[in-house]
Amino acid sequence: MNHKMLIAFLLLALPAAGADSQWLLQSSTLTYHVSHPLHQTEGVSHAAKGKGVCHAGQCEFLIAVSVKSFDSGDSNRDLHTLQVTRGAEFPLVTVRTRLPESAAASTTINADLQIQFAGQSAEYKQIPFKLERQGGDIHITGTIPATLSDFKIDPPSLLTMPVKNETPVRVDMTWHPQ
């Protein structure tokens, strides 16, 4: 199954029948940060797809992004990242969350996230995100405090020194009502 078909399947997996409202991820910038004693690295993706469905006061959101869509500016590093994260076997990172529909009126939300990456699942509780209304759209920013050990990834090494376990992911997304 190719990546686009898999993303489409994941997005359609959310229940849409009888939905009060739906949201589509209009734009995104996801940035991971890796720290090594000799240098700092960031990888960026603008390729996330997402959908949200609200019904009876609850909203379910699903975001999916291809592991190989992240670009660190060094093709060797990106290839090694794909190998370390088992990106060929598990090509997508998916994030699911449920929020009360009333959260859209707030300026800050604390979200519980379920993330699947590298064949593993991790849950993050009460992650703060800033919300800004831009017309009818909602702009969301925040940082997910991910670690390599959360996904059972052995920290890669350079000159026998491993990268730090902490790999925070900055999130910058704009959602548009459908």
Q: Among residues 7, 31, 12, 30, which one has the least CA distance to residue 22?
A: 12
Please report, for the domain that includes residue 112, its CATH number: 2.40.128.110
> Taking the model in full, what pTM does it have?
0.87
Average pLDDT for residues 131-147, to the nearest whole number? 96
Confidence (pLDDT) at 112: 97
Cβ distance 167 to 156 under 8 Å?
no
For the chain, what is the domain count?
Answer: 1
Range of the domain at 162: 3-177
In tens, the pLDDT along 81-123 reads: 999 999 999 999 999 999 998 888 899 999 999 999 999 999 9
Query: Residue 20 has what DSSP assignment?
Result: S
* Contact (Cβ atoms closer than 8 angstroms) between residue 54 and residue 97: no
Three-class secondary structure assignment of 66-135: EHHHCECCCHHHHHHHHHHCCCCCCCEEEEEEEEEHHHHHCCEEEEEEEEEECCEEEEEEEEEEEEEEEC
CA of 65: how far to CAs of 7, 31, 47, 60, 178, in Å?
8, 12, 6, 17, 20
- Only one residue has tokens 């940060």, namely 33
Lowest mean pLDDT among 8-17, 48-57, 68-77: 8-17
Dihedral sign of CA atoms 52, 55, 60, 64 in order: negative
Q: What pLDDT sits at residue 160?
A: 87
